[in-house]
Chain A
Amino acid sequence: MSDARPVRDGTLLGLAVGVSGLAFGAAAVSSGLSVWQTCVLSLLAYTGASQFALAGTIAAGGSLLAGAAGAILLGSRNTLYSLRLAGLLQVKGTSRVLLAQGVTDESTALALAQPDRAAARAGFRATFISLYLTWNAATLAGAVGAGSLGSPQSFGLDVIGPAAFLALIWPRLASGRTERLVGAGGAAIAITTTPLLPPGAPIILAAAAALAGTLASRPAS
Chain B
Amino acid sequence: MTGPWIAVLITCAGCYALKLAGLTIPERLLGRAWLRRFAELVPVALLAALVAVEAVAKGSALVFDPARLAGLAAAVVALLLRAPFLVVIIAAAAVAAVLRLAGVS
Q: With contacts A45-B16, A105-B46, A163-B72 known, what are 14 further pairs, Cβ within 8 A?
A: A45-B8, A67-B7, A75-B14, A75-B18, A78-B22, A96-B20, A108-B43, A158-B54, A158-B96, A159-B71, A165-B51, A189-B49, A191-B53, A209-B48
Partner of A169, one of B39, B47, B76, B101: B47
> With a CB–CB cut-off of 8 A, which chain B residues contact A21?
none
Q: Is the CB of A191 within 8 A of B12?
A: no
* Interface residue range, chain B: 35 or more
Q: Is the CB of B54 within 8 A of A83?
A: no
Residue A195 interfacial (CB < 8 Å) = yes
Q: Is the CB of A82 within 8 A of B93?
A: no
- Provided the pairs A79-B22, A159-B68, A187-B49 are in contact, do residues A40 and B8 lie with their beta carbons within 8 angstroms? yes
Closest-CB distance, A125 to chain B (whole angstroms): 15
Interface SS of chain B: helix
How many A residues have CB within 8 A of the partner chain?
Answer: 102
Q: Is the CB of B39 within 8 A of A167?
A: no
A167 CA to B72 CA in the complex, in Å? 10
- Provided the pairs A64-B7, A86-B30, A96-B20 are in contact, do residues A173 and B44 lie with their beta carbons within 8 angstroms? yes
Q: Is the CB of A37 within 8 A of B47?
A: no
Task: List the interface of chain A (C-beta within 8 A of B).
Answer: 9, 12-13, 16, 32-34, 37, 40-41, 44-47, 49-51, 54, 56, 58, 60, 64-65, 67-68, 71-72, 75-87, 91, 96-97, 99-101, 103, 105, 108-109, 112, 153-170, 172-173, 178-179, 182-191, 194-199, 202-204, 206-211, 213-214, 217-218
